[in-house]
Structure 1
């Protein structure tokens, strides 16, 4: 573990981040760490050595100074064995990671030890923990100068209806919204459902809740979250956590002399995007927790080819418990015969490779995102003004997809979440969805709304904007 406990802090306040060891969760809290650190507050980030390394290697958009200001505490003592992901499971939730999730609860003792040291040298210790790590941080109640805040990694829309249903539908909601609300059936395995319920029991100990969303995106649903029937604690919508202006780490004066060196370090897919027309490329990625079946890969390939839309496809298996272990071979062999050769001018396929998603979405050539609709991906796409072709797989994704396509109307559905949850009904399919989004008049309206919402989100994080005001409110609160 890192031996540093000090560092500059604002009036003796330090923040301890405790993320859940899954990429979308790790990433969001590392982004938030950079944001809070930039406010002059000392930030500590605690995870296993493997997952801390994973988060740091994959974070994008921040300069190195922002990352170096965070104190990382890394533990390597967790023991778990995860089976390979199963793309044919009846429930597509990444159940292969359940051993990791259970093992992560053993971080309780290291967290308590670190809290003891931080509380002895700080006026106040503020714990921001993933909602799935409630039991891990529970010992903060032993320290009179410590308080905790729960971070929800999902949309306000998703958590609102989860809580609303759990609390017995305590107030009325517009019937038009309820009609398009997907069922949670088939979204989670029973094992994870029990895990989640256990962690949510510790919410009663917290002093408030934090969301990676923006009032300009979800104000109506965020306001419903603040109703006393749902929660009587303070809520902050400080998103997007990801940078909306990406950092190149070179000044304008240095740009010419460092251009060659900078280009050599850029991912190959960004160099390929440089050669494509503006808004012409469909980015295809199903995130870090989904492995596609042979049939799904075939369906995607045929749809991409028939649509004649240029594409950048990240074709990889889901992360394992240790994302640095070698993935299964043979992913490329699942593509239809001759697909690569026929599409070498029209597309780029990245196999078994993690791609810089935020930079891809921020590239001028990217005109759409065929996505599973994980909330991290949704927020990155929204903040970059990129419309979404939605194909949800599990967890909160079906409800995020409904928010994107039917409420915000900044995307189109590739697949609808079926009435039986795990059974997905065909909607318009890959080819029709891509053509609809990229080349139709209806798609033009969708793309226009996505661009306008992206601009509004970027304004919200600027000085005087809604997100900036939420951040200032939170910083003022913890420094009270």
Structure 2
């Protein structure tokens, strides 16, 4: 055998936003669990953020990781604007604008590891592609891209004549508009990043054949991906036997007292904000719907999540709301252990912004999704889970994003999943898909999937994470995607 695990270094470089930090941390834990040296490189505050929000794993698992703080220029951390004309978190742009300045510090880290390691595998993402550029100049380094959004987002826009688009049309799935998904400033940043050369040897993606089998095949047929490897390694989050935070969050104690499959969980994303008027309408819809719920109602994350918040979102609830829902509803005013909440037997549905991290967590737990997209890939994700996978419903259609969603509509959508007989099929499909992922962690076509193409020679469908180790000339290792 050429070399050993000990002389291989894996460096992961996430974009500094919660959904990215979290997925990269899960990936790092998976890789390090097999004795590989994994280096998590990010600005100091974002390393702290990722570590403090770890869910589902024993706290000791991160002790095996090597955290490297990348110095970054100072930046403002303004409050979010819930009354913005678009829902994209533009208040984070001050961080995004300076983030690439960490590149020389990352280059120093990679050079140091290159000198002491037989092989260096660098895993970045499109928004941190400078890491791939730095890896490409080293003689013993190889760059890979980790895709933190579903591959179907790219497949769906390959063009009007693409097989992916033809499939969606045949199923009656409407591809939502990309208008207002991003701010103009962020679009300009992405355009600038994409204009620079980004080498890569392959792609890792937080998905599986059970979820995106057809789109994986479509992706592999794209001319710019010929000769590369695709590793569907999701879900990365634990799916069973999870360990709760210690001390245990109080919401879990409250959920313990509720009947099985009786509670709606509501969280519209760590970076999202809704207006005071919309908060009032959502609260009224919950009150009139008479459903038990756990609602994460907090200010959207700032660039520095440890900055003290100026306002308590609970103060924006209708007068007397807390008294009226006492015993039926729970409001969480800060960060919540979402993965542990979704895994709880009392949870029956998840009203979500449909960030891909949240989608994967909900799908892997067999929980139906009530989709309320806010920005980025979320409008597509909402259609994907509702119209393609059919494990959810749309709360607010993206075409109506400028409107205030009224309490009556919110109440009716909740009942479609939680109360009406019509929701039984959605709940059944969600559970079946979740069980498929949990019971069969090795990626293979699911009974929920339609017929998929077998023409994907570079797609590792047997043991995708195990195959990843062969990038470093390691023997094949068996890595289950659920915890024993």
Normalised by the length of structure 1, the TM-score is: 0.90
- Counterpart of 2:416 in structure 1 is 436
CA contact (8 A) 1:238 1:468 kept: no
Cα deviation per residue 1:284-307 (whole Å; 9 max; x = unaligned)? Answer: 001111011111101110111111
CA contact (8 A) 1:383 1:458 kept: yes
Residue from 200, 215, 224 that aligns with 2:194: 200
Cα deviation per residue 1:200-228 (whole Å; 9 max; x = unaligned)? Answer: 34564111111111111110111111113
- Counterpart of 1:173 in structure 2 is 166
Deviation at 1:230, TM superposition (A): 5.4
Q: Does 1:187 align with 2:167?
A: no
- Counterpart of 1:275 in structure 2 is 257
CA contact (8 A) 2:73 2:98 kept: yes
CA contact (8 A) 2:143 2:201 kept: yes
Residue from 213, 216, 219 that aligns with 1:219: 213
- Counterpart of 1:44 in structure 2 is 39
What secondary structure sits across from 1:454 in the alignment? helix
Deviation at 1:151, TM superposition (A): 1.2
CA contact (8 A) 1:37 1:43 kept: yes
Deviation at 1:139, TM superposition (A): 1.7
Change (3 A) 1:113 1:422: farther
What secondary structure sits across from 1:349 in the alignment? strand
Change (3 A) 1:201 1:39: farther
What secondary structure sits across from 1:20 in the alignment? coil
- Counterpart of 1:92 in structure 2 is 87
- Counterpart of 2:437 in structure 1 is 457
What secondary structure sits across from 1:418 in the alignment? helix
| Alpha-carbon separation, structure 2, partners of 1:89 and 1:297 | 15
How many residue pairs end up in the alignment? 455
- Counterpart of 1:111 in structure 2 is 106
- Counterpart of 1:26 in structure 2 is 21
Q: Does 1:302 align with 2:284?
A: yes
- Counterpart of 2:232 in structure 1 is 237
| Alpha-carbon separation, structure 1, partners of 2:179 and 2:406 | 18
- Counterpart of 2:332 in structure 1 is 350
CA contact (8 A) 1:282 1:312 kept: yes
Deviation at 1:472, TM superposition (A): 1.2
Deviates more, 1:424-433 or 1:131-140: 424-433
CA contact (8 A) 2:278 2:405 kept: no
Change (3 A) 1:19 1:178: farther
CA contact (8 A) 1:418 1:425 kept: no
What secondary structure sits across from 2:130 in the alignment? coil
What secondary structure sits across from 1:392 in the alignment? coil
Give unmatched runs, 5+ long, in structure 1. Answer: 1-7, 250-261
Q: CA RMSD in A?
A: 2.3
What secondary structure sits across from 2:166 in the alignment? coil
Give unmatched runs, 5+ long, in structure 2. Answer: 446-459, 475-484
Change (3 A) 1:467 1:296: farther
CA contact (8 A) 2:282 2:406 kept: no
Deviates more, 1:93-102 or 1:203-212: 203-212
Change (3 A) 1:33 1:9: farther
Cα deviation per residue 1:284-339 (whole Å; 9 max; x = unaligned)? Answer: 00111101111110111011111111000010111000000011214112111111
- Counterpart of 1:255 in structure 2 is none
Cα deviation per residue 1:394-439 (whole Å; 9 max; x = unaligned)? Answer: 11001000001001010111111107x6568889821011111011
- Counterpart of 2:373 in structure 1 is 392
Q: Does 1:127 align with 2:108?
A: no
CA contact (8 A) 1:82 1:98 kept: no
Deviates more, 1:203-212 or 1:112-121: 203-212
Residue from 293, 301, 312 that aligns with 1:311: 293
What secondary structure sits across from 1:83 in the alignment? coil
CA contact (8 A) 1:416 1:426 kept: no
Deviation at 1:475, TM superposition (A): 1.4
| Alpha-carbon separation, structure 2, partners of 1:326 and 1:357 | 21
Change (3 A) 1:412 1:170: closer
CA contact (8 A) 1:19 1:26 kept: yes
Normalised by the length of structure 2, the TM-score is: 0.89
Deviation at 1:371, TM superposition (A): 0.5
CA contact (8 A) 2:72 2:99 kept: no
Residue from 149, 152, 156 that aligns with 2:147: 152
- Counterpart of 2:451 in structure 1 is none
CA contact (8 A) 2:25 2:50 kept: yes
Change (3 A) 1:194 1:286: same
- Counterpart of 2:313 in structure 1 is 331
